[in-house]
A and B are shown apart, each in its own frame.
Chain A
């Protein structure tokens, strides 16, 4: 089955120690998104890639970076995690970025990576 895969499902890191979360997709979608979701809150978009074009949200801290080496993979790098970065990180994909035709803008989410910062 085509899907969005996130590894690992649970990640523990130390305060200030760089960490990388990974996302892969078999849907062959053009767009990949990274969201941060804290407890009892809605997901918050950090950034997205449309193909190789990177789009950062204005309020995403510089501490968060992303890489998309190819269509299938996208990585979230947290350079110096703080205690406030402990959250669920969700990756999503969509075929296109707008709903100009059909349901191409529907986002499909992975299972998430729960990050703990000690």
Chain B
């Protein structure tokens, strides 16, 4: 069965530190998509990135970077030089396509607290 594990329930860092949020997934399909969303205290889930299973290139967007490794079924998210505004709950999600499903399988989320 599909599953997404975010083992870190809560992480606290001091501003300007780098932090990595872990995401491990399970799927039997060869075609799938992985996502990261940010949920600030206001509640809205903000889309950050989508990665398909055939693209293992790491991606960088400003202070954000993602490391996708199929060999370990991981899709980790790193924030460089963290800021207080990065404080939020971050969700990793898996979406499968070959079986025709459309659902997101969400991880349980990691709460990041960035302290000034």
Contact = CB atoms under 8 A, between A and B. Distances in A.
Contact of B102 (A41, A42, A97, A114): A97
Report whether over half of chain A's contact residues are helix, strand or loop; otherwise say mixed.
loop
A78 interface: no
Contacts, number: 54
Interface string A89-115: 010100001111001011111111010
Interface stretch (B17-25, B43-51, B59-67, B71-79): B43-51
Given A42-B107, A43-B45, A112-B44, A105 B102 contact: yes
B95 A105 contact: yes
Given A42-B107, A42-B109, A100-B97, A110 B102 contact: no
A105 B107 contact: no
Contacts of A111: 42-44
Nearest to A50: B102
Looking at chain B, what size class is its interface with the partner chain? 20 to 34
Contact of A99 (B95, B107, B108): B95
B95 A109 contact: no
A48 B102 CA distance: 10
B50 to A, nearest CB: 5
Contacts of B52: 99
User: Nearest 5 CB-CB pairs, A to B?
Assistant: A42-B106, A97-B102, A109-B45, A112-B43, A111-B44
Interface of B: 31, 33, 35, 37, 42-47, 50, 52, 91, 95, 97, 100-104, 106-109
Interface of A: 31, 40-43, 45, 48, 88, 90, 92, 97-100, 103, 105-112, 114
12 contacts: A31-B102, A45-B104, A97-B102, A99-B52, A99-B97, A105-B95, A107-B104, A108-B47, A110-B44, A111-B42, A111-B43, A111-B44
